[in-house]
Amino acid sequence: MNQSLDARLLGRHFIIDQTNEQGTISFFGIFYHFVANEPLKLGDEVVITAVTAEHLTVTKAESLLKF
């Protein structure tokens, strides 16, 4: 398998709560900084849509829904 751990985070969902509302999330024991394309509030479900060396980019899950 030639895929980095960070790239495997793409598409992962999580909920904005009190432990991560400041822009930090932990996966597999590693802490990541994340930024959003739009304002987030407690309870929002987000999806990791991009990975860079500096941060993860998240988007509200409802913004990605296709009907």
Half-sphere exposure of 7 (CA within 13 A, CB side): 4
Q: Which domains does the chain show, CATH number per domain? A: 7-64 (2.40.50)
Q: Which residue has the tokens 């432990």?
A: 19
Q: Which pLDDT value is given to residue 5?
A: 64
pLDDT at 52 over 80: yes
The separation between CA 22 and the C-alpha centre of its own chain, rounded to angstroms, equals: 12
pLDDT digits (tens, 9 = 90+) for 56-65: 999 999 887 7
Q: Which pLDDT value is given to residue 64?
A: 79
Q: Which pLDDT value is given to residue 66?
A: 66
Instruction: Report the distance separating Cα 67 and Cα 32, nearest Å.
Output: 31
